[in-house]
Structure 1
């Protein structure tokens, strides 16, 4: 009998690999807390979690989320479509010959979109990529038994490495206090929660999530979908002929190649899940990449099927922490992939110059994806 919830004695973590079990945890934030730092005691400062949507529980999460939602309403996202088309066209016009998808489209497109939305200089996008890489390549194992302090040191080192990003964002936020503009940074510094303005720490952490999560997911969505089409040329041909199949292909690529493989939670109370009893104050790792292939939910789970319906993958999470930028990522993905298919008669990997996979088990993506674009 397959066990979908199991304890890892070496790391002191509970691991959830089943779809119904992961869905249950995501929909129960009162039991499965997102406030991971609580497991490790008081943090020396608030650089890690204060104002960080990803690590905040209700009621604070509800307040922060309502603030963030104003930047990603359906109306705001839909209004970005002409600009996304324009940017994608400009980036593809600059391609001469074959295409390296990450550097020439999949990274710059979402970075420019989120940078313009926030109001930070698009010319600094290489900085954003460096900071994103720091987060993505932080591939140490999660552990609740950090006897030698290695994990704590890793967290501190990452915080120190990202301090230039915090300083950068704070400088722009401070500028908006004296010179407001029509951008999201200005709305954030002027916003009030319970009658109070956000602190510097909250503003920086909040903006960090928007800036980095706002482009990392889209970059991986684009590259992962192209890889799925490359591996399944018969489906790629059908999608070229009938673009109404493209949204389904994007969702299926999200299922098979979840951009972020694991989400961490901490039990607030003792609870039962998947036939196991998990004590309070235990780290629980929710493995989306495995839940998305749960044969109890997905027939032929390892097969790429753009017609799969329903497709209740968990790559964007679920519940109160459902990915804020998911509608924008999907829109950017549909526009960019349609224009790629319009522009290039071939989009195939080259065996002589294969993709470079992201060197991490916590995410699924590539850092380089050279493509042949002609017969």
Structure 2
């Protein structure tokens, strides 16, 4: 059985663990970036479990000249909040992702999948990210929020701009090029927030039965969310609500192509679809890294990390840690326990994980029904996201 990635999979060089290369240590300081890299599973699990010591509020380390812009675009963002405000804000949206609400979306997900595949029926060559893996989750989350799904190409152009950087996060003095990239990302993020702000203001005048209306009408400790909090909250839901599933779907199909013995098993027994998805999440974790900041000096993985230091928690590397997973570079959906960190852990566990799993299960089953012989095309390798903090197929040409 193959235990490393095919050479044609041109992943980012900083994602060396995807080639079966183990980090030298579970915790390493990267002087050229000024960041601490967390590679070990136990160490990553600890960081993600302890928000008091490892804060999600990375804005505290932002250079002074950028603080105002970053604060404006992070206020109300679930990804950068710590308790107790994080817990209160999360409760606002948790009702939109209850088990019943998610389960009730299954017929709509199935309908959308069939319609999207009908649109490319009869073709010998498919580019499945374009045809299915991008539009399906973005339509679902757009309908939940209450923004036009027909604007999805607009969202895609903005997301592509946001993820275009190939550099790792640095807290050292920025070069002029890095400053330029940061300003560009702020500019693009404002496009999202301005777009969502217009829809939020419309909901104040004309409420609907959608998630954006619920955010506009929501209260925390008796106070309504302000405009900035609403649009930043909605922005996270819109972006994270589709891109994770897009990468999950593409990565899972790519794994089945690379490991035909597993593909044959799942074709024969569809009960294996959920564990195949979980192993894909471990093997090619969509969000490779998440950032945290130490609030105090801490011992971690044999290293002493001072307070107010940036940590890059490489969950994709942790999900390949041989100290925790047997044969971590083998794609094995039959693992007895697969407690991967692909959806993070602790209070920041992805709130949309049940929806992503449902979309994956429904779409993959329909895809396997329609295309029992899908395979990659010799000479046309998949294209991965250029951003090192993400592991996901951006372009996936397949032969039907």
For 1:3 and 1:183, the matched residues in 2 are separated by 47
Q: Deviations over 1:99-158 (max 9, x none)?
A: 211011000000110011011011101011112212222332211212546545433321
Which of 68, 81, 89 is residue 44 of structure 1 equivalent to? 68
In 2 relative to 1, CA 181–318 (structure 1 residues): closer, same or farther, beyond 3 Å?
A: same
1:82-121 to 2 correspondences below 5 Å: 82-95=107-120, 96-97=122-123, 98-121=125-148
Q: Does 1:65 align with 2:90?
A: yes
Residue of structure 2 in register with 1:191 after alignment: 218
- Conserved 8 A contact 1:143-1:151: no
In 2 relative to 1, CA 352–276 (structure 1 residues): closer, same or farther, beyond 3 Å?
A: closer
Which of 240, 248, 252 is residue 213 of structure 1 equivalent to? 240
Which of 324, 337, 340 is residue 313 of structure 1 equivalent to? 340
- Conserved 8 A contact 2:267-2:372: no
Structure 2: where are the runs of 5+ without partners?
Answer: 1-22
Residue of structure 2 in register with 1:30 after alignment: 52
- Conserved 8 A contact 1:47-1:159: no
In 2 relative to 1, CA 67–138 (structure 1 residues): closer, same or farther, beyond 3 Å?
A: farther
Q: How many residues align?
A: 373
Which of 74, 78, 98 is residue 103 of structure 2 equivalent to? 78
Q: Does 1:263 align with 2:285?
A: no
For 1:44 and 1:60, the matched residues in 2 are separated by 20
Q: Deviations over 1:139-191 (max 9, x none)?
A: 32211212546545433321112222211100000000000111111111000
Residue of structure 1 in register with 2:30 after alignment: 8
- Conserved 8 A contact 2:73-2:189: no
TM-score (normalizing by structure 2): 0.90
Matched position secondary structure for 1:162: helix
Q: Does 1:53 align with 2:78?
A: yes
Q: Which deviates more from structure 2 when the two are superposed, residues 140-149 or residues 120-129?
A: 140-149
In 2 relative to 1, CA 146–68 (structure 1 residues): closer, same or farther, beyond 3 Å?
A: farther
Aligned Cα RMSD in Å?
Answer: 1.4
- Conserved 8 A contact 1:108-1:125: yes
C-alpha displacement of 1:309: 1.9
TM-score (normalizing by structure 1): 0.96
- Conserved 8 A contact 1:223-1:366: yes
C-alpha displacement of 1:27: 0.1
For 1:354 and 1:144, the matched residues in 2 are separated by 34
Structure 1: where are the runs of 5+ without partners?
Answer: none
